[in-house]
Amino acid sequence: MTTNILDYLKTLPQYILPHHFLSRLVFYATRSQWRPWKNLLIKYFIRLYRVDMNIAKQADYRQYSSFNHFFTRELNNDARPIVADMECIASPVDGTISQTGLISDTDIFQAKGRLFNLTALLAAKPELSNYFRNGCFATLYLSPRDYHRIHMPIDGQLEEMIYVPGRLFAVNNSAARNIDQLFCRNERLIKIFDTVIGKMAIISVGALFVGSMETVWAGQITPARKREISHWHYQQTGQNISLSKGEELARFNMGSTVILLFGPGRIEWSQALQPESPVKMGAALGKIIIKHGATEDTEK
């Protein structure tokens, strides 16, 4: 049986699964503070995924109040050094490179033989789509064993946030190869920052059993009470939320995918980062290729 057929068979049941119901069950199970349950769950998870607890601020798994508290654990201050070069873009997460490259008009490479649409990804907002058209993208996959806090790739000021409801398909390689428009179909949280090189989008994409996403400025966003597109405008309402490179901005309560978007001609990805390459939060993903202070929008 070929790999393609195996991938198809793995993903086929996901079309009929009650994604949000299952994710709600996981949400409550991972927040239980009943000591025998949460200790057993954490201990089994550490063994199964070979989680390195030596780099966690709290190395004793029994001290976490719930599985989710463990899953979103803080690391030691020196565990993830942030690349010091001001010209470098830092990885926002621990994970694996799924894809990096250039956006072809509004087409983004998903996997061999499949693309996904920039405009659909950005909640059909033409002004955002026009800005990132022909720009740069990086898709980073977080496995269950990875550190699950998301940090700033460069300094930025928050402009807006958009919650987009959707399905919760798995986002692993087999799903990317078989599910059309995967990242446009899944629930996601879009954060738009103003930076020294213009707009930057950081998109948290939900997945199966990812029952919750949150940010440092707004707290828990999902599960949402109403699964409808929601907008928050920060600069327009006088809210000054600025974060420096390396600062935490959000987290996944269970693992998934982060997509980075930059405008055309703003950055250049490191050629050392190929699909399936592991990456650590704070490591260099690429370099700025325009002068500092050049923040003029491409649509002007």
Spatial distance between the Cα atoms of 89 and 288, rounded to a whole number of angstroms: 7
Chain position carrying tokens 């894809």 = 99
Q: Is 41 helix (H, G, I), strand (E, B) or coil?
A: helix
Close Cβ partners of 119 (under 8 Å, ≥ 6 residues apart): 106, 125, 126, 129
Catalytic residue at 233? no
Distances (CA, A) of 221 to 19, 141, 161, 162, 170: 17, 20, 11, 10, 20
Catalytic residue at 143? no
Spatial distance between the Cα atoms of 284 and 181, rounded to a whole number of angstroms: 28
* Residue tagged active-site, from 94, 98, 148, 204: 94
* Residue tagged active-site, from 151, 194, 204, 212: 151
Q: Is 190 helix (H, G, I), strand (E, B) or coil?
A: strand
Q: Is 185 helix (H, G, I), strand (E, B) or coil?
A: helix
Distance, first Cα to last Cα, the chain: 53
CB 101 within 8 A of CB 137: yes
Catalytic residue at 151? yes
List, by residue number, the catalytic residues: 94, 151, 256
